[in-house]
């Protein structure tokens, strides 16, 4: 029995093994630039804050659970902190570029 290379499909004896291309996890239309990615990150922060507000409103009305509200709040906080850290890294990179001698 022949052992094929990693990333190949088993075939019938005597036939040639062809490598498989790895499946991309990104959608086909995700060829946007950096601005679109940053815009998507800001939109996700807004969505997380909106879902947290909705969960809190449901908790106050008595139709929601305290645990769901706390989870939504933590998700919104984590998403916001990630966005702030990305912003900090961008500002730091900009400042490093501006300090470079010409």
Q: Is residue 60 part of a domain?
A: yes
pLDDT digits (tens, 9 = 90+) for 39-54: 888 999 999 999 999 9
Q: Is residue 40 part of a domain?
A: yes
Q: Is residue 88 part of a domain?
A: yes
Q: Are 44 and 78 spatial neighbours (Cβ–Cβ below 8 Å)?
A: no
pLDDT digits (tens, 9 = 90+) for 57-98: 999 999 989 999 999 999 999 999 999 999 999 999 999 999
- Where is pLDDT greater, at 20 or 57? 57
Q: Is residue 22 part of a domain?
A: no
pTM beyond cutoff 0.75: no
Residues of the domain holding 61: 34-99
For residue 73, CA distances in Å to 44, 51, 76, 77 come to 14, 8, 5, 6
Q: Is residue 49 part of a domain?
A: yes
Q: Is residue 28 part of a domain?
A: no
Domains in the chain: how many in total? Answer: 1
Q: Is residue 76 part of a domain?
A: yes
């Amino acid at each position: 029995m022949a052992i094929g290379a990693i990333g190949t499909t088993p075939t019938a004896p005597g036939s040639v093994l062809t490598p498989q291309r790895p499946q991309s996890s990104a959608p086909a239309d995700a060829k946007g630039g950096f601005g679109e990615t940053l815009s998507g990150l800001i939109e996700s922060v807004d969505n997380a804050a909106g879902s947290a507000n909705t969960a809190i409103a449901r908790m106050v009305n008595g139709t929601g659970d305290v645990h769901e509200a706390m989870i939504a709040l933590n998700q919104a906080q984590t998403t916001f902190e990630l966005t702030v850290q990305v912003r900090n890294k961008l500002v730091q990179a900009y400042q490093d570029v501006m300090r470079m001698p010409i």
